[in-house]
Structure 1
């Protein structure tokens, strides 16, 4: 197989309809383009005439993840400084921690002007008014993958500047698997034949809703209605959701009989794949480097189609940069976020970190398409569903994972288990909204 560089990534389709220039208070961009100086645009804005200029004397702080991400961020900040003459201090703050720190440090003026976050963690900060809208939504909608635009939008408005997209796919050991399966049923049959003693044909984490949603969604289940924006409509106990969990029980019975949900952890299946004792493994691009370092002869393919002819709808995540609405220099900060998500920066991110670029032209380039592993994840991403970024999403994970564990371990009726999970989610949402 053709080996790729390490893939470290963090992967949607609501059209962004208008250009929003609202910030925390007025700025030069408002007045220069016909605004009223209070963040409200007066009439339509001509994209060709729209130009943002950095505030005089601007100095910026950028929060980025560490390791390779930090190295890339520092290089891009340096190129921004050279181009604009604006000093950028780069600090290591993880994309998981940044939105929470913004909530406390933003209003006090202690937060970064620009920060990295995954799209599913940013919803609360946006709804609290802590994030400035993207100044160039039409340009981003035209040039970026739909999945990344939907993921970094909130209530129909684009806030993020996408820099990376990820989802999971099917790894397979080429020493054990002769050819790629054409369907999920075929994969299960192949895995059953490979399972013998300490060798397993297939493993995935049944208790992890992040992974098993692919089957629930592929058969027609969904988290929230209206493209995961209507929390009053939960589709996790409909007919499709039941069929998706039934597929999990088929995997259990045909390949993983005798193993409880707790027996199949990420560490266990990773160890088995690294030692060559696992045929198929559903995992994400973060697993690539470890498997390469272990010397496994493997490849990656999109998740095989289901019995209904549909491709499993894996969850996707999109990493992006966001602008702090309390920034003293909102125009300069927006220009920095734009720079971090430019074609040049995204190509550098792929070369430095393996992060898959959500930019259409780069994703379709020979450099990406010639990489078997990168192109397989990007192909799966076309069928993926962005994890909901509404504040109610954290209330979904535990009830759904508990439901699947109950079915897997105790053969509880699937409809009954899912009905209980949805009831628990609905109650939690009602309490949160009070």
Structure 2
């Protein structure tokens, strides 16, 4: 009986040892694969740079194609289940929330030779960095070269342009479409408020107790927008369709100047508009339009089976050579300053417009509370310019909603 018991014990020990070796081999096998998740349009880029990374690191890069925001939404559930990718591209304004929830791996250092404090701030949360900046993005100003000789440099010039009767909107007497901007959308109008002294959160976008969207500067920006809405057709008040209205007027040659994103260039090219693009005109008082600085970063999930390799990929994909290649493949502006300087030398009009506008842009706050701002300001501009509320009252109401939502969703935890 004793012999049988000892034999059984010995057999189990051997089995346990054998199982351990199998698990070790499996783990080692996992370490030979790095999963990179990108949208379909970026797959060719990853394929073009992965061979060198695979050779240098003796690893296989597995590419997963998934819509960026779908992937970011899935990480909190996929991570614990072992299904999250090692690395992916993520929008800057999602970095803070994912990082604070523990879903992203910290990046220990970003080279000051490649990234300024501004780029670094886009991936910083609570003093730590959670990604390598890949792309910068801002809204810019387009103009129709067949309608005006050069881009207006000031809003005073735009105001004068709006008196030109050739841009009168035929369907609504007394309205004009010389210049249009979708300012009922906070993403587009923020530069107007910030340029006059408004801001989202104080202390570089981190102090939720200091909201500057109803201060004197912000209200001044709203009041200025209201003057423009008096000139514009009523369709500009409909936030759901205003963007389409702006695009239609510009592509049909009925609008000389619009504010929009770099993504609109493809639409204008397809419509064969003879357009130019530049940074946004100076606001009254010689103030800079200060839109949000956005874009994407390479980020590593905290669930990576091979965190060291994931960090190496971030550095590799974000280096100057690969950042410039990303620009060549996608025409998206590099966050890497060395690559960006090289991109600027191509003399591409859209590239240089984004680069110039980025200089006056405001880094989008990366803290999770930023999500409450987008909700809170939905009606700020509409209520003010439609006459439903006075500009100050509309701004005050928006800030109240933001503060209430932050208090209920964050401070109560």
Tell whether the structures are fold-level matches, with TM greater than 0.5: yes
Aligned to 2:152: 181
1:234-273 counterparts in 2 under 5 A?
Answer: 234-253=211-230, 255-262=231-238, 265-273=242-250
**1:350–1:368 distance in 2 versus 1, CA, 3 Å:** farther
Return the offset for 1:303: 1.0
- 1: CA distance, partners of 2:144 / 2:388: 31
CA contact (8 A) 1:322 1:337 kept: yes
User: In the comparison of the two structures, how many residue pairs are matched?
Assistant: 377
**Residue in 2 that maps onto 1:192:** 163
> Post-superposition shift, 1:162?
1.1
SS at match of 2:68: coil
In 2, the alpha carbon distance for the partners of 1:328 and 1:180 equals 52
1:12-53: CA deviation from partner (whole Å, max 9, x where unpaired): xxxxxxxxxxxxxxxxxxxxxxxxxxxxxxxxxxxxxxxxxx
1:159 aligns with 2:130: yes
Say which one has the larger Rg: 2
Does the CA contact (< 8 Å) of 1:214 and 1:314 recur in 2?
yes
CA distance in 1 between partners of 2:67 and 2:238 (Å): 29
| TM-score, structure 2 normalization | 0.87
Q: CA RMSD in A?
A: 1.9
Worse overlay, 326-335 or 400-409: 400-409
Q: Deviations over 1:217-265 (max 9, x none)?
A: 0000000110110111110000000011111112112x31544510752
Match of 2:62 among 75, 89, 98: 89
Tell me if 1:346 matches 2:323.
Answer: yes
Alignment of 1:323-338 (within 5 A): 323-338=300-315
Does the residue aligned with 1:120 lie in a helix, a strand or coil? Answer: helix
Match of 1:201 in 2: 178
Structure 2's unaligned 5+ residue stretches are 1-27, 171-175
Counterpart-to-counterpart distance in 2, 1:321 and 1:212: 28
Matched with 2:348 is 371
The alignment partner of 1:163 has SS state of strand
2:105 alignment counterpart: 132
For 1:61, the equivalent position in structure 2 comes to 35
User: 1:323-353: per-residue Cα shift (whole Å, max 9, x none)?
Assistant: 1112111001111111111112111111111
Equivalence for 1:431? 408
Moved more, 166-175 or 70-79: 70-79
Checking the alignment, whether the CA contact within 8 Å between 1:399 and 1:425 is kept in structure 2 is yes
Q: 1:142 aligns with which of 113, 136, 144?
A: 113
2:75 equivalent to 1:102: yes
| TM-score (normalizing by structure 1) | 0.83
Residue 132 of structure 1 aligns to a residue whose secondary structure is: coil
1:102-142 Cα deviation digits (max 9, x unpaired):
111112221000011011012221001111111332x1x33
Match in the other structure for 1:19? none
Q: Is the 8 A contact 1:151 1:387 kept in 2?
A: yes
Within 5 A, what are the aligned runs for 1:34-73?
57-67=31-41, 69-73=42-46
Deviation string, structure 1 residues 158-205 (Cα, Å, up to 9, x no partner): 111111100001100011112222211221221332522357211111
Once residues 233 and 307 of structure 2 are traced to their aligned partners in structure 1, the CA distance between those partners, rounded to angstroms, is 57
Q: Residues of 1 paired with 2:344 and 2:96: CA distance?
A: 33
Matched, 1:415 2:392: yes
